[in-house]
Amino acid sequence: MVVIDIGDGLIELINPVITEKEGCEKNTEGCLSIPGIFGEVERYEKVTVEALNQNGKKVIITGTGFLARAIQHELDHLEGVLFIERADTLFKENT
């Protein structure tokens, strides 16, 4: 299960599977699991996910841009993959 919140409310996905994907873009990512570290990660620009919601009903969500990136980032966590393993370059936050 993953819970995603990019500012539009919680998205809860149980047993999510990406069923469609389009395009590619590279952008900066970070993670609460590794504070202060960021990296340039290539992800799909658009993804469609099938999952169950908290009531056990099938949901289909299509995300583009930041939502697509967040979905892929969180699904990676389910596979034990951190963004630093996908990043082309890593850098520390400027403080």
Residue 36 is classified by DSSP as: T
Residue 6 is classified by DSSP as: S
Q: Catalytic pick from 74, 79, 85, 93?
A: 74
Burial of 93 (0-12, 13-18, 19+ CB in 10 A): exposed
74 catalytic? Reply is yes
Maximum alpha-carbon separation in the chain: 44
Could you give the residue numbers annotated as active site?
Answer: 74
